[in-house]
Amino acid sequence: MVTRHRLKLIARYLASECTEQERHEVELWVNSDQKNKRMFDSLQAIWELSGRKSEAGSSKHAITGLRLKLKDAETSRRRYEDDRFKIYRIIPHKRTGNNLSPTIITQIAAVLIVLVSTLYVVNYVKKMASEIKNRTVKPTARFEEVFTKTGQQATLRFSDGTQVLLNSASRLRYADYPDGSRQFYLNGEAYFEVVHSDFRPLIVRTAHAVIRDVGTKFDVKSWRDDGQTQVTVAEGEVIVHPDNRPQNDTAIVVHGQFTTVKDDGTLLPPRYTNVYQTIAWIDGKLVFKNEPMRSVLKQLNRRYGLICFIEDTSLLSKTITATFEKGESPKEILDIIALSLNLSYRTSNDSVLFVPTKSNSM
């Protein structure tokens, strides 16, 4: 289900009138799920097919484009393709009776429903584009991008002394904006050591939150499949507020504290934590303290590329407390996890299956 807010963002995106933050939000949504990507690809193709340079808010060109595609049909079922978007026309065969078969009626109804729904969505998206057409779009600088694969880490050093360490399976885009700010867009985890400047503020954006440096060292963890952003401050302080929320909905997080922004925009109050455990990944360690098995398996995938399955899903909520030093092999880690939860496991290439260990009957 595409919400009104999402359609408005897509309209801005397709009209090339969105801000960098909105563009980032649309791309995060598109890449987070295959269904989302298929929906966006269809909308983009329909947008082009219906005449995006026509007057916004009108479905006339969309209808004309669709009719032209259907007009040339010569077979009972012929497929038309316009890049990623596919249109199907079903023409029933002649029958001696007066009624169509239930199957043909169902097929025709399905096609009509899709076409009517599609034209409505196109009209709505174009209407949103019309509403935002005359708004000023903030200019953006040229972005640089760096990403890490499974098991990799990267270090970025900037001319002012600021340093960013990027964790495994993470992606970071960054640029200097015309207003002097340094802006980072993160999907994954990164540790920032910032040389603060009142004239060049540093801002980190994720799918859920905006983090503003106040002179500090801090960790941001925000993978899409986690459904939240966690910010932990090792030194100094940062200002955190949920994305797409009023600026007064903020939290000041100081040394030794962390806060979490949920995917629904909920901002949890800052709490004190063991910062060492949070940033232990910088030294190549894995530290789990009462960590749910579900989270542990995700981290094993990001660090070692292991695709983990578990026979009894109720075990995903079980917690693990353990510290793994740099250099420990995946097998050593799997052995300890299995022992902790009374499990056994089988491996095949990069796949791991955990199964409960059956106790011997007396």
114 pLDDT band (50/70/90 cuts)?
Answer: very low
Rounded to an integer, what distance in angstroms lies between the CA atom of residue 154 and that of residue 152?
7
Per-residue pLDDT of 180-229, as tens digits, reads 788 999 999 999 999 988 888 899 999 989 999 988 899 999 998 888 99
Compute how many other C-beta atoms are within 10 angstroms of the C-beta atom of residue 209: 26
- β-bridge pairing 286-292 and 319-324: antiparallel
48 pLDDT band (50/70/90 cuts)?
Answer: low
Q: What CATH architecture is 284-356?
A: 3-Layer(bab) Sandwich (3.55)
The residue ranges of every structural domain in the chain are 4-132, 144-277, 284-356
Per-residue pLDDT of 134-147, as tens digits, reads 343 343 567 889 99
Compute how many other C-beta atoms are within 10 angstroms of the C-beta atom of residue 276: 11
Report which secondary-structure segment, H or E, holds 44.
helix 34-49
Whether the domain at 144-277 and the domain at 284-356 fall into the same CATH topology: no
- β-bridge pairing 228-242 and 257-262: antiparallel
Does domain 144-277 fall under CATH 3.40.50.10490? My reply is no
In total, the chain counts a number of residues equal to 362
